[in-house]
Chain A
Amino acid sequence: MQPVQTRNGTSRIARNGPDPIIVDGLSKTYRVTDREGGFGAAVRSFFKRKYRDVKAVQNVSFRIGSGEIVGFLGPNGAGKTTTLKMLSGLLYPTGGSANVLSHTPWERRADYLRSITLVMGQRNRLSWDIPAADSFLLNQAIYRIGDADYKRTFDELNELLELAAIIRKPVRNLSLGERMKCELAAALLHRPQVLFLDEPTIGLDIGAQVRIRSFLKEYNRRSGATILLTSHYMADVTALCERIIIIHHGQLKYDGKLADLSRRIAPYKLIAVRLGDCIDCDLSRYGTVVEVAAEYGADGANGDGGKQLVQVKADEVAAVTARILADLPVSDLTIEDPPIEDVIERAFHE
């Protein structure tokens, strides 16, 4: 294991072998018809089309090392899905290059397609009318998986995802969580080395999200597969990804460790203080008070002063904490990181 410098100077850990994903200056511009609203505009547009270029992805470059799980983040319409589609081979780029497992993805060569997978949480790979088990068999034929390999992989996936009880039912009768398990299994039967996951946990309840997350983590540990994952759930990102790439308006905004982003974008901590007999104690002299949650005792009297959140510069946390503890009747004190959602949101707009 050795640290590697990326283009923007952040470091990460590379495991064995050459980087499976190398993206250099990748761009995609869509040409869309552009017309104003209203009847007149519609008629004019019928005879004379106006076109407008939409730059979905602009000059994006990054490298991902073998076995890494990288979070690919950005608001809706940032260009995440377009990038994943280019890397999996579905779309031709309008500029730049990509090299995944020594292949150019959009050539869509059979041996490339056999070594990757794309999972889109909002789209169905499995046929609705037949049980997942039958779709698995079709995949076995399409991907030319030998019977012994198929059985070994299926047993392993079954152990992690508990598939046996659900794969005999037609897919239309499965719950969303059960369906996602089957979708993931179908996408992994051919043991891909690179996984592109586009919002694999979307719409799932908390329990199902947790199960999918721990499955991905375990799958990555066992198989050493490289994973590029998009999600709007920060819990997915914090649980799985040491490194994140942020993209906004098609441009790369950040590429580095999640922890470093917090330090860079939001170099502060939150001190949560619960005070004893001191209702009017003012915490604003220690830092910015961002939240006051007054709580009352069972008898209706002001049993304590409630919980207050004070925002303090990261390098002053120790000193400020010591002063608060010395000055005030503190009943409870914790130090928290700023919420990751806030950090990411700030990064988008920086």
Chain B
Amino acid sequence: MHIYKLLTTFLKVNIQQDLAYRADAIVNMALSLMWLGWELTSLSIIFSNTETLGGWGPSELIALLGVWRLVNVVMATIVWPNTEKFNNGVRDGSLDYTFLQPANSQLLISITRIVVWRAWDLLLALTLIVAGITSSGGITTPLNVIAFLGLTISGVAIIYSLWIVLISFTFWFTKFDNNVTIMQALMDAGRYPAQVYPVWLRAIVTFIIPIAVATTVPLQALRGDLQWWQILGFLVIGVGAFIISARIWKAGVRRYSGASS
């Protein structure tokens, strides 16, 4: 209940803040649309030369692009803006105040800044997913849709956990400003199905840095390509990643209290 109240208050304040910068929001929404055009053009160039990409047809790749964008919405709405806030807080010491507030510090640093107009990207992402699935002619069942939703949430949890781990490292290595640049590079790898990469790279992308889990896997579930135990396995990975990252964050905060001056 308290978390709900915190979330809605932070959201409300951030909406007010974004409303004050109207031009900024409009320009960024236009840019986002332009990028989408560019991504679709790239796909059409690829498919003018080949029928399938790692066994995936054009419609399915459009749906994948949608899922990839969905995960990116989370990054652009929460992860990037709060990383900036977090790094500034470490530098100027204002993070001290966060640790003195009677609420979960991980939650607080995750929702301080929410770029609300990114909801527009959410709309684009959902359009792509629906368009891709319907035009592929694939038959999907309600069960597949539920699995897709569950795995998307799990995928987002994995990406979020990866972010929490990366910024927690700041407590051990004080000079770690580019903590999430590496993440942006990895996110870009999730734009294509994991099957297009060589086996060794696919293994890295899937298991070590599980971007594919967040993008390809949900779509596989929607296509009905996954067994129930695979779905369950990926859900468990999502929950596990979340728990482990929260532990690492707590250890980092303890470290901060022990060492900072």
Interface residues of A (CB under 8 A from B): 30, 56, 82, 85, 88-92, 106, 108, 110-111, 113-114, 116-118, 120, 123-125, 127, 129-130, 134, 137-138, 140-144
CB-defined A-B contacts under 8 Å, sample of 23:
A30-B261, A82-B261, A89-B100, A90-B99, A90-B260, A91-B260, A106-B257, A108-B99, A110-B102, A113-B101, A114-B102, A117-B100, A118-B97, A123-B94, A123-B97, A129-B17, A130-B16, A134-B13, A134-B17, A138-B10, A140-B9, A141-B6, A143-B102
Q: Is the CB of B260 within 8 A of A123?
A: no
**Contacts of B254 on A, CB cut-off 8 Å?**
92
**Residue of A118, A138, A141 touching B100 (CB-CB under 8 A):** A118
Q: Is the CB of B260 within 8 A of A111?
A: no
Q: Is the CB of A120 within 8 A of B96?
A: yes
Q: Is the CB of B257 within 8 A of A92?
A: yes
Q: Is the CB of A125 within 8 A of B97?
A: yes
**Contacts of A91 on B, CB cut-off 8 Å?**
257-258, 260
Q: Is the CB of A124 within 8 A of B9?
A: no
Whether A138 contacts B261 in the complex (CB less than 8 A), given A113-B100, A113-B102, A144-B2, comes out as: no
Q: Is the CB of B6 within 8 A of A142?
A: yes
Whether A141 contacts B261 in the complex (CB less than 8 A), given A123-B93, A124-B92, A125-B97, comes out as: no
Further pairs besides A88-B100, A144-B5: 14, Cβ < 8 Å: A90-B96, A91-B258, A92-B258, A108-B99, A108-B100, A110-B102, A113-B100, A113-B101, A117-B100, A123-B94, A123-B96, A137-B13, A138-B9, A140-B9
How far is A204 from B97 in the complex, measured between Cα atoms in Å?
22
Q: Give the number of chain B interface residues (Cβ < 8 Å).
A: 27
Which B residues between 85 and 142 are near A, CB-CB below 8 angstroms?
Answer: 92-94, 96-97, 99-103, 108, 112
Minimum CB–CB distance for A112 against chain B, Å = 8
**Contacts of A110 on B, CB cut-off 8 Å?**
102-103
Most buried by A among B9, B97, B258: B97
**Contacts of A142 on B, CB cut-off 8 Å?**
6, 101-103, 108
Whether A111 contacts B102 in the complex (CB less than 8 A), given A123-B93, A123-B94, comes out as: yes
**Residue of A114, A130, A141 touching B9 (CB-CB under 8 A):** A141
**In terms of DSSP, what is the predominant structure of the interface of chain B?**
helix
Please, which residue of chain B has its CB at the minimum distance from the CB of A28? B261
Whether A90 contacts B16 in the complex (CB less than 8 A), given A138-B10, A141-B5, comes out as: no
How far is A141 from B99 in the complex, measured between Cα atoms in Å?
16
How far is A180 from B16 in the complex, measured between Cα atoms in Å?
23
How far is A92 from B258 in the complex, measured between Cα atoms in Å?
5
How far is A285 from B9 in the complex, measured between Cα atoms in Å?
73
**Contacts of B6 on A, CB cut-off 8 Å?**
141-142
Minimum CB–CB distance for B259 against chain A, Å = 8
**Residue of B94, B258, B259 touching A125 (CB-CB under 8 A):** B94
**Contacts of B17 on A, CB cut-off 8 Å?**
129-130, 134
Q: Is the CB of A137 within 8 A of B9?
A: yes
**Contacts of B16 on A, CB cut-off 8 Å?**
130, 134
Q: Is the CB of B92 within 8 A of A90?
A: no
How far is A276 from B257 in the complex, measured between Cα atoms in Å?
65
How far is A130 from B15 in the complex, measured between Cα atoms in Å?
11
How far is A110 from B105 in the complex, measured between Cα atoms in Å?
11
Q: Is the CB of B92 within 8 A of A56?
A: no
Please, which residue of chain A has its CB at the minimum distance from the CB of B85? A127
**Contacts of B102 on A, CB cut-off 8 Å?**
110-111, 113-114, 142-144
**Contacts of A140 on B, CB cut-off 8 Å?**
9
**Residue of B5, B94, B101, B257 touching A124 (CB-CB under 8 A):** B94
Please, which residue of chain A has its CB at the minimum distance from the CB of B253? A108
Which 8 pairs of residues, A with B, have the shortest CB-CB distance?
A110-B102, A141-B9, A113-B102, A134-B13, A125-B97, A114-B102, A142-B103, A123-B93
**Contacts of A118 on B, CB cut-off 8 Å?**
96-97, 100
How far is A29 from B2 in the complex, measured between Cα atoms in Å?
38
How far is A120 from B261 in the complex, measured between Cα atoms in Å?
13
Q: Is the CB of B92 within 8 A of A123?
A: yes
**Contacts of A123 on B, CB cut-off 8 Å?**
92-94, 96-97
How far is A92 from B257 in the complex, measured between Cα atoms in Å?
6
How far is A130 from B94 in the complex, measured between Cα atoms in Å?
16
Please, which residue of chain B has its CB at the minimum distance from the CB of A124? B94
How far is A106 from B100 in the complex, measured between Cα atoms in Å?
10
Please, which residue of chain A has its CB at the minimum distance from the CB of B103? A142
How far is A85 from B17 in the complex, measured between Cα atoms in Å?
32
How far is A116 from B102 in the complex, measured between Cα atoms in Å?
10
How far is A113 from B99 in the complex, measured between Cα atoms in Å?
9
**Contacts of B108 on A, CB cut-off 8 Å?**
142
**Contacts of B259 on A, CB cut-off 8 Å?**
30
How far is A247 from B196 in the complex, measured between Cα atoms in Å?
66
How far is A130 from B112 in the complex, measured between Cα atoms in Å?
12
How far is A91 from B100 in the complex, measured between Cα atoms in Å?
11
**Contacts of B10 on A, CB cut-off 8 Å?**
138, 141
**Contacts of A143 on B, CB cut-off 8 Å?**
101-102
Please, which residue of chain A has its CB at the minimum distance from the CB of B6? A141
**Contacts of B13 on A, CB cut-off 8 Å?**
130, 134, 137-138
Minimum CB–CB distance for B103 against chain A, Å = 5
